[in-house]
A and B are shown apart, each in its own frame.
Chain A
Amino acid sequence: MSAAQEPPPAPAPALPIVTRGLTKRFRGGQVAVDQVDLEVPAGSVFGFLGPNGSGKTTTIRMLLGLITPTSGSVELLGEAMPKAQLKVLPRVGALVEGPAFYPFWTGQANLLRFDAADRTADPRTRKARAAEALERVGLSNAAGKKVRAYSLGMRQRLAIAVALMQRRDLLVLDEPTNGLDPQGTREVRNLIRELASDGTTVFTSTHLLAEVEQVCTHAAVMSRGKLVRQSTVAELRAELRPRLIVRTPDLAQAAETLTNLGATDLKTTQETVEGDAGDLPIDKFAAALVAADVRIHGFGLERPSLEDAFVALTGEGFDVAE
């Protein structure tokens, strides 16, 4: 992690989110977040990844001043949290751990209340801004319905609408597409792209790696409370070495040929042989296989998904980590 070696933050171009040695130890002694140094660049769409229970939500709560770190510091938009929260948070749109509303009020009434809590929000434009936010998340028709009657997906949209009541410099979204159908997920993804293109920095935690590949410019991966990786998505992807895959009935022969040419990390399944081709162009492998009379049913390079990288980094699938 390069963040740890850098000197304390220079004041000039404030990074929207900086944490230093951020740690949260719960009363039971369990360390939920351990020495996390995050640096979220301005204008980025930052994917915050990790299995359930890896400390993502706890980190987000500390970013927003909802819980106090055991040690370490948080800076949002250049200001120390939680000290400057009344100054900073009006510029931050937040969605923390699932949608929470007054079920006995309408969607619109909920938006108005959260907006009224912010001293810097102009009451004269409140209703117009609420209508606009509802429109943006596709809830205009349900604005007058009680939240009790909303589906989970609608609540999720309403929670995003809360974050969109004002123009924000930073959005912190905890699992924004949770509970949404594929159509809703696509809409939220587009919304995030749109907001980012307006210059809003978006920090979003998610389970869906497809989402990260599609919208995020940067990503950080948490595992068991520690930040195990932080880089641009392009870098992360570049590190995933493509694998050569040969589909053939002549498994032993194919494997031998590939090994002779210097392929490493060979794996044989029932129908395929695959391995790391190294720096040799793949047409050399094709020619060699043909020369060795290996029957080729399929042949090509396959790039591993981000999910493979994720599993490699965290050493586990999504739903473990206890």
Chain B
Amino acid sequence: MSLSSTAEVARPSAGRHTLGLFRSELRLVFGRARTQAGLGVLAAVPLLIGIAIRLSGPEGGEGFLGQVAGNGLFLIVASLGLSLPFFLPTAVTVVSGESLAGESSLGTLRTMLTAPAGRSRLLAAKMVALAVFCLAATMTIWVSGLIVGFVLFPVGDVLLLSGTTVSLAEGLLRALGIAVVISLSLLGLAGIGLFVSSLTSTPLAAMAATFGAFIVLGILTAIPQLHAIHPWVLMYRWSSFADLLRDPPYWNEIGKNLLLQGGYLAVFYAAAWARLTSRDIT
């Protein structure tokens, strides 16, 4: 009997359908109630801030928060800025910790690999889905902030940090740029989460370990004696997103931040790859 001829009969369109796995991966991440609940919480952040400012009257707090009452557009920026230290990293930790450890604990990793998905390709699909999640998370805040800001507060031309005023449209565009920069700022953490997730078959352990690493890095930035290593700590330049509100935008710090995120991502993605491609799947 000729095995190869049967194979040809079986595969009339022996083409390459590479995108299927990536699409399926997105469905897996975004179809889960957990992910949707997380995005729901992020969408609530601008709403809560907006209502609080509305109730407390015009003389708000400092920074972007103080400007929200005068211009609803700043609700987007304030919400993104306030979500960055805690809410967004938490969401990224949960989704990235789940990514490989979740499949491993369900046993679906074996089925995916015998399908065959290919270990490198599966890892790439997981990382792409994580990156899309990071963007979706910040865009959720952007959209929610836009709606709540426009409903609850007056909107108009935007006064930038450097004192110049730009049109509302440009202000929105700059807020969009901030959302994108912040989602890119989360990629380093996503890389750490993916790596940790490749080490274990317990999603909860992966999430806890990733979050623990995040906390430790946060503590490092708070210790002045360690200033020598501060530029290398994951979140050291996270707040550089505000430089997009200068005229012209100040790219230096943002660039350094993105470079650092790229470095973290490269190192931990490579580690995850080394682990997944050599691991015995049981």
- Give A contacts to B, CB under 8 Å: 14, 16, 42-43, 61, 64-68, 77-78, 85-86, 89-92, 94, 96-98, 100-105, 112-124, 162, 166-169, 199
Contact = CB atoms under 8 A, between A and B. Distances in A.
Given A66-B110, A116-B20, A117-B20, A90 B11 contact: yes
A14 B1 CA distance: 10
B14 interface: yes
Interface string B169-211: 0000000000000000000000000000000000000000000
Interface string B96-133: 00000000001110111111111000100000000000
A16 B24 contact: no
A101 B13 contact: no
A86 B21 CA distance: 14
Contact of A117 (B3, B14, B107, B112): B112
A121 B114 contact: no
B111 A167 contact: no
Contact of B114 (A16, A94, A102, A115): A94
A89 B32 contact: no
Given A100-B108, A117-B115, A66 B17 contact: no
Contacts of A169: 3, 6-7, 10
B224 interface: no
A97 B1 CA distance: 30
Contact of A98 (B1, B6, B107): B107
B225 interface: no
Overall SS of chain A's interface? loop
Given A101-B106, A122-B17, A162-B111, A86 B282 contact: no
Q: Which of B16, B23, B117 has the most CB of A within 10 A?
A: B117
A86 B110 contact: no
Contact of A66 (B9, B10, B280): B280
A45 to B, nearest CB: 15
27 contacts: A14-B3, A42-B1, A61-B280, A65-B113, A66-B113, A67-B280, A91-B7, A92-B114, A96-B114, A100-B106, A102-B108, A103-B106, A113-B27, A114-B111, A115-B20, A115-B115, A116-B21, A116-B23, A117-B112, A117-B122, A119-B20, A119-B21, A120-B14, A120-B17, A123-B20, A166-B10, A169-B3
B37 interface: no
Contact of A116 (B1, B24, B107): B24
A114 B112 contact: yes
Given A118-B117, A168-B10, 20 more contacts: A14-B3, A16-B3, A43-B1, A65-B114, A66-B110, A66-B113, A85-B118, A100-B108, A100-B110, A100-B111, A101-B106, A101-B111, A102-B28, A103-B106, A105-B31, A113-B28, A115-B20, A117-B122, A166-B10, A199-B6
B12 A122 contact: yes
B18 interface: yes
A205 to B, nearest CB: 15
Interface of B: 1, 3, 6-7, 9-18, 20-21, 23-24, 27-28, 31-33, 106-108, 110-118, 122, 278, 280-282
Nearest to B27: A113
A118 B106 contact: no
A167 B10 contact: yes
Contact of B108 (A14, A89, A101, A199): A101
Contacts of B110: 61, 66, 96-97, 100
A123 B17 contact: yes
Contacts of B27: 113
A96 B113 CA distance: 11
Contacts of B1: 42-43, 199
A201 to B, nearest CB: 9
A102 B17 contact: no
A67 B282 contact: yes
Nearest to B116: A89
B17 A64 contact: no
Contacts of B107: 97-98, 100
Contact of A102 (B12, B16, B106): B106
Contact of B20 (A90, A91, A101, A121): A121
